[in-house]
Chain A
């Protein structure tokens, strides 16, 4: 059974800092890994998708890496802004799409 863990569960950092969110998974036989953000009471917004053959993906201030052999992914956010405050979820896909429990990020102005 695939298990996905996100550490830390919550994180608060001052505006402008760079930060890293972590995601680990137990079964390396995945098709891809996807990072989402979720604002309170809202749906999921897809941020980045990394295919199993890729090592990283970048979009603006976001960079996601994938190390299948060690079962880890990181989401790097550069120059954080208050608008980045949200819950960040990672999900790994084989036949199923399995989510971690998320990291609640607060950026302090």
Chain B
């Protein structure tokens, strides 16, 4: 049981390049989230999705786009990377329903450096 898998684990980009981070979960969860973590800032929500085909903005969405074409996958795109996007990115998934196990599960993170 893989849980939540993030690809890639490490990446170095040049300013202006684009890339896509992939998050895949095998728990049939409806909710998926993308966060970034910077020193001293905790985890800040970039975008999230409450189901296949739906996405919504989080706390820090600028410079990022997302897509949820399949229930098990949540993609985070950087169209034109900037040094300010150097960070560690975490993906998470959970079940939305009250009264059942709504524990959130996290991927191992993607360390992105933009030079």
* A interface with B by C-beta (< 8 Å): 31-32, 34, 36, 43-44, 46, 49, 51-53, 89, 91, 93, 95-102
Within 8 Å by CB of A101, from B42, B92, B109, lies B42
Please tell me which one of the listed residues A32, A36, A100 contacts residue B102 in the complex, with CB atoms under 8 A apart. A32
Chain B residues within 8 Å of A, Cβ to Cβ: 31, 33, 35, 40-45, 48, 50, 58, 90, 92, 94, 96, 98-99, 101-109
Check B48–A100 contact: CB distance below 8 A. Answer: no
Q: Shortest Cβ distance from A6 into chain B, in angstroms?
A: 8
Interface hub of A31, A91, A95, A102 (most chain B Cβ within 10 A): A31
B50 contacts A95, CB within 8 Å? yes
Q: Is the CB of A100 within 8 A of B104?
A: no
Q: Are B58 and A96 in contact (CB under 8 A)?
A: yes
Assess whether B103 is in contact with A44, with CB atoms less than 8 Å apart: no
Residues of B close to A43: CB separation below 8 A = 90, 106-109
Beta-carbon contact of A96 and B90 below 8 Å: no
Which residue in A44, A46, A100 is a CB contact (below 8 Å) of B90?
A44
